[in-house]
């Protein structure tokens, strides 16, 4: 008897091969023609994406020098400033190819480009085992950006954390109040001021006593993540951790 599922897979492979033959795809970074089993990036560019090195700050995932880590596993910023999140994880340095790729994905309408990171999200060790979170909350975007872009990349990445039945639900528990100045144009102090009371909790989603995992694409100073965590804790959240795709290394 022919195994129908296998047969379908074969057919799908033929179909993909055929389409690739007619419309060859190129690597988003080096522009070379992709092989049939590659998507978005060629394997060489993918292997060269800058991964964050260990040790990292236990709170905000910033790389810290080993000699510094020996004394404390928390970075200078996390010791000087009140951090409302408990622990965070990130995979890549927000620089070089990573920056180019993320900018292309966000600003040129290529949400599918994020798909190359799905394995990272599926294999990642979140600060707590994933099943221990009550909900996964994507950091919200300005409504006009969602309209412009048609998707929120944080939501897209949150969906990659899916691991069968044990994954907590993705809940849009945070709402973004109004559009402020883009954070990228501001210095550290201005960023903090710009963020004050930017987020609010959706009253329909109770966060009191909950253990929450925030998800975003990139963490720069950690100010946005901190403000999200502050808002959730203000409403009684018990613990707030985060997972981000990339982290800046120098500010």
Question: Which spans of this chain sit near Zn ion (rule: CB under 5 A)?
Answer: 27, 29-30, 42, 45, 57, 59-60, 62, 75, 78
- Which residue lies nearer to Zn ion by CB, 100 or 148? 100
- The least distance separating Zn ion from the CB of residue 76, rounded to whole angstroms, comes to 8
- The least distance separating Zn ion from the CB of residue 123, rounded to whole angstroms, comes to 22
Determine the Cα–Cα distance for residues 210 and 232; give it in Å rounded to an integer: 9
- Which residue lies nearer to Zn ion by CB, 116 or 130? 116
- Which residue lies nearer to Zn ion by CB, 58 or 153? 58
- The least distance separating Zn ion from the CB of residue 69, rounded to whole angstroms, comes to 11
Nearest to 231 by CA among 207, 211, 201, 204: 201
In order of 61, 115, 163, the CA distances from 244 in angstroms are 9, 15, 17
- Which residue lies nearer to Zn ion by CB, 54 or 204? 54
Task: Classify 228 as helix, strand or coil.
Answer: helix
User: How far apart, in Å, do the first and last CA atoms of the chain sit?
Assistant: 62
- The least distance separating Zn ion from the CB of residue 67, rounded to whole angstroms, comes to 16
What is the sign, positive or negative, of the torsion defined by CA atoms of 241, 127, 106, 110?
negative
Q: Which of 13-23 are b and which e, b meaning 16 or more Cβ less than 10 Å from the residue's Cβ?
A: eeeeeeeeeee
- Which residue lies nearer to Zn ion by CB, 81 or 162? 81
- The least distance separating Zn ion from the CB of residue 207, rounded to whole angstroms, comes to 24
């Amino acid at each position: 008897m022919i195994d129908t599922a296998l047969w379908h897979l074969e057919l799908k492979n033929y179909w993909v091969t055929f389409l690739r033959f007619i419309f060859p795809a190129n690597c988003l970074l080096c522009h070379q023609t992709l092989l049939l089993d590659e998507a978005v990036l060629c394997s060489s560019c993918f292997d060269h994406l800058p991964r964050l090195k260990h040790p990292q700050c236990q709170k905000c995932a910033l790389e810290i020098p080993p000699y510094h880590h020996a004394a404390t596993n928390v970075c200078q910023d996390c010791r000087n400033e009140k951090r409302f999140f408990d622990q965070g994880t990130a995979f890549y340095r927000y620089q070089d190819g990573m920056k180019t790729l993320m900018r292309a994905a966000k600003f040129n309408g290529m949400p599918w480009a994020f798909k190359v990171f799905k394995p990272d999200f599926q294999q990642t060790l979140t600060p707590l085992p994933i099943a221990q979170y009550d909900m996964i909350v994507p950091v919200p975007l300005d409504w006009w950006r969602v309209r412009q872009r048609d998707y929120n990349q944080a939501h897209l990445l949150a969906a990659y954390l899916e691991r069968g039945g044990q994954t907590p639900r993705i809940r849009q528990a945070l709402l973004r109040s109004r559009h402020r100045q883009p954070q990228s144009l501001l210095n550290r102090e201005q960023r903090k001021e710009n963020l004050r009371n930017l987020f609010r909790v959706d009253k329909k989603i109770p966060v009191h006593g909950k253990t929450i995992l925030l998800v975003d694409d990139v963490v720069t100073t950690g100010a946005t993540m901190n403000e999200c965590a502050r808002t959730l804790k203000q409403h009684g959240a018990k613990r707030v951790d985060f997972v981000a795709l990339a982290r800046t290394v120098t500010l």
